[in-house]
Amino acid sequence: MPNNSAISSSKKRLLASVFTSVLRYAGPAWVTALQTKRNTSRLNSTFRLMAMRVSSAYRTISSEAAYVIGETIPTNLLLEEDSECYRDRVTRGARKRVRADTLIKWQHQWDNAVNGGWTHRLIPRLSVWVIRAHGEVNFHMTQFLSGHGCFKKYLNRFAVLHRVR
Protein backbone atom coordinates (compact mmCIF):
# COMPACT_ATOMS: atom_id res chain seq x y z
CA MET A 1 0.00 0.00 0.00
CA PRO A 2 1.33 3.45 -0.80
CA ASN A 3 1.92 5.78 2.13
CA ASN A 4 -0.47 8.47 0.98
CA SER A 5 -3.35 6.22 -0.05
CA ALA A 6 -6.97 6.89 0.78
CA ILE A 7 -7.10 3.81 3.02
CA SER A 8 -7.45 4.91 6.64
CA SER A 9 -5.12 3.69 9.36
CA SER A 10 -7.99 1.85 11.06
CA LYS A 11 -8.54 -0.23 7.91
CA LYS A 12 -4.81 -0.86 7.61
CA ARG A 13 -4.78 -1.88 11.28
CA LEU A 14 -7.61 -4.34 10.55
CA LEU A 15 -5.53 -5.94 7.79
CA ALA A 16 -2.55 -6.02 10.15
CA SER A 17 -4.64 -7.73 12.82
CA VAL A 18 -5.37 -10.55 10.36
CA PHE A 19 -1.65 -11.01 9.82
CA THR A 20 -1.02 -10.83 13.56
CA SER A 21 -3.72 -13.42 14.27
CA VAL A 22 -2.13 -15.86 11.85
CA LEU A 23 1.26 -15.17 13.41
CA ARG A 24 -0.04 -15.67 16.96
CA TYR A 25 -1.87 -18.90 16.17
CA ALA A 26 -0.28 -21.59 18.35
CA GLY A 27 2.30 -19.03 19.47
CA PRO A 28 2.80 -20.57 22.92
CA ALA A 29 3.89 -23.79 21.20
CA TRP A 30 6.58 -22.23 19.00
CA VAL A 31 7.62 -19.14 21.00
CA THR A 32 10.79 -20.95 22.11
CA ALA A 33 12.02 -20.69 18.51
CA LEU A 34 12.47 -16.97 19.13
CA GLN A 35 15.37 -17.67 21.45
CA THR A 36 17.64 -17.63 18.41
CA LYS A 37 18.69 -14.24 17.10
CA ARG A 38 18.07 -15.21 13.46
CA ASN A 39 14.41 -16.13 14.02
CA THR A 40 13.78 -13.04 16.13
CA SER A 41 15.37 -10.81 13.51
CA ARG A 42 13.25 -12.26 10.69
CA LEU A 43 10.04 -11.93 12.65
CA ASN A 44 10.83 -8.38 13.79
CA SER A 45 11.66 -7.20 10.26
CA THR A 46 8.32 -8.44 8.97
CA PHE A 47 6.44 -6.99 11.91
CA ARG A 48 8.27 -3.63 11.53
CA LEU A 49 7.21 -3.43 7.88
CA MET A 50 3.61 -4.05 8.89
CA ALA A 51 3.78 -1.31 11.55
CA MET A 52 5.26 1.08 8.98
CA ARG A 53 2.42 0.38 6.56
CA VAL A 54 -0.23 0.88 9.22
CA SER A 55 1.21 4.27 10.16
CA SER A 56 2.19 5.28 6.58
CA ALA A 57 5.77 5.89 7.71
CA TYR A 58 8.98 6.31 5.77
CA ARG A 59 11.45 3.42 5.84
CA THR A 60 13.90 5.51 7.88
CA ILE A 61 11.63 5.53 10.94
CA SER A 62 12.82 3.57 13.95
CA SER A 63 11.04 0.35 14.80
CA GLU A 64 10.06 1.69 18.20
CA ALA A 65 8.44 4.81 16.75
CA ALA A 66 6.67 2.82 14.03
CA TYR A 67 5.18 0.50 16.64
CA VAL A 68 3.99 3.40 18.79
CA ILE A 69 2.53 5.52 16.00
CA GLY A 70 0.88 2.47 14.43
CA GLU A 71 -0.39 1.33 17.86
CA THR A 72 1.20 -2.05 17.20
CA ILE A 73 2.49 -3.95 20.22
CA PRO A 74 5.95 -5.41 19.49
CA THR A 75 6.07 -9.08 18.54
CA ASN A 76 8.03 -10.33 21.51
CA LEU A 77 5.55 -8.78 23.94
CA LEU A 78 2.54 -10.19 22.07
CA LEU A 79 3.94 -13.70 22.11
CA GLU A 80 4.85 -13.42 25.80
CA GLU A 81 1.30 -12.26 26.43
CA ASP A 82 -0.12 -15.26 24.59
CA SER A 83 2.10 -17.66 26.51
CA GLU A 84 1.06 -16.16 29.83
CA CYS A 85 -2.62 -16.24 28.87
CA TYR A 86 -2.25 -19.88 27.88
CA ARG A 87 -0.71 -20.72 31.26
CA ASP A 88 -3.48 -18.81 33.08
CA ARG A 89 -6.31 -19.97 30.80
CA VAL A 90 -8.45 -21.19 33.70
CA THR A 91 -8.24 -17.87 35.54
CA ARG A 92 -11.14 -15.51 34.96
CA GLY A 93 -10.10 -12.12 33.52
CA ALA A 94 -6.56 -13.28 32.76
CA ARG A 95 -6.48 -11.74 29.26
CA LYS A 96 -7.32 -8.26 30.58
CA ARG A 97 -4.74 -8.47 33.36
CA VAL A 98 -2.04 -9.78 31.06
CA ARG A 99 -2.76 -7.02 28.49
CA ALA A 100 -2.30 -4.42 31.22
CA ASP A 101 1.03 -6.04 32.11
CA THR A 102 2.01 -6.02 28.43
CA LEU A 103 1.31 -2.29 28.18
CA ILE A 104 3.52 -1.72 31.24
CA LYS A 105 6.35 -3.75 29.66
CA TRP A 106 5.93 -1.90 26.37
CA GLN A 107 6.04 1.43 28.22
CA HIS A 108 9.28 0.35 29.88
CA GLN A 109 10.77 -0.57 26.47
CA TRP A 110 9.56 2.75 25.05
CA ASP A 111 11.09 4.75 27.89
CA ASN A 112 14.45 2.98 27.41
CA ALA A 113 14.48 3.06 23.59
CA VAL A 114 17.60 4.46 21.97
CA ASN A 115 15.75 5.65 18.85
CA GLY A 116 12.51 7.56 18.40
CA GLY A 117 13.32 10.42 20.76
CA TRP A 118 11.16 12.97 18.92
CA THR A 119 8.19 10.62 18.93
CA HIS A 120 8.76 9.84 22.62
CA ARG A 121 8.71 13.56 23.36
CA LEU A 122 5.28 13.84 21.67
CA ILE A 123 3.85 10.50 22.89
CA PRO A 124 5.39 9.80 26.31
CA ARG A 125 2.52 7.67 27.71
CA LEU A 126 1.58 4.67 25.58
CA SER A 127 -1.56 3.78 27.50
CA VAL A 128 -3.11 7.16 26.70
CA TRP A 129 -2.13 6.91 23.03
CA VAL A 130 -3.23 3.31 22.44
CA ILE A 131 -6.52 3.46 24.36
CA ARG A 132 -7.72 6.78 22.91
CA ALA A 133 -11.10 6.60 21.22
CA HIS A 134 -10.62 9.38 18.67
CA GLY A 135 -8.38 10.35 15.79
CA GLU A 136 -6.41 8.38 13.26
CA VAL A 137 -2.91 8.83 11.97
CA ASN A 138 -2.31 9.49 8.31
CA PHE A 139 0.72 10.13 6.14
CA HIS A 140 1.13 13.75 7.22
CA MET A 141 0.46 13.12 10.91
CA THR A 142 3.04 10.32 10.89
CA GLN A 143 5.60 12.68 9.34
CA PHE A 144 5.00 15.11 12.17
CA LEU A 145 4.99 12.50 14.94
CA SER A 146 8.14 10.79 13.70
CA GLY A 147 10.09 13.82 12.51
CA HIS A 148 10.67 11.95 9.25
CA GLY A 149 9.13 13.92 6.43
CA CYS A 150 9.45 16.97 4.24
CA PHE A 151 11.34 18.98 6.83
CA LYS A 152 14.62 20.81 6.20
CA LYS A 153 16.44 19.06 9.03
CA TYR A 154 15.34 15.62 7.83
CA LEU A 155 16.05 16.32 4.16
CA ASN A 156 19.52 17.67 4.96
CA ARG A 157 20.46 14.20 6.18
CA PHE A 158 20.23 13.05 2.58
CA ALA A 159 21.56 16.26 0.99
CA VAL A 160 18.27 16.65 -0.90
CA LEU A 161 18.17 20.42 -0.47
CA HIS A 162 21.56 20.80 -2.12
CA ARG A 163 20.46 18.87 -5.22
CA VAL A 164 17.28 20.92 -5.73
CA ARG A 165 19.07 24.24 -6.30
Query: What is d(CA 88, CA 101) in angstroms, rounded to the nearest whole number?
Result: 14
CB contact at 8 A, 72 and 50:
yes
> Once rounded to an integer, what is the mean pLDDT over residues 57-76?
88
**Residue type for 71, please?**
E
pLDDT tens for residues 116-156?
A: 888 999 999 999 998 888 888 888 788 888 887 776 666 56
Residue-wise pLDDT for 73-127, tens only, equals 988 888 888 888 888 888 888 889 999 999 999 999 999 999 988 899 999 999 9
Residue boundaries of the structural domains of the chain? 9-164
Helix, strand, coil percent content, the chain, rounded in steps of 5:
70, 0, 30
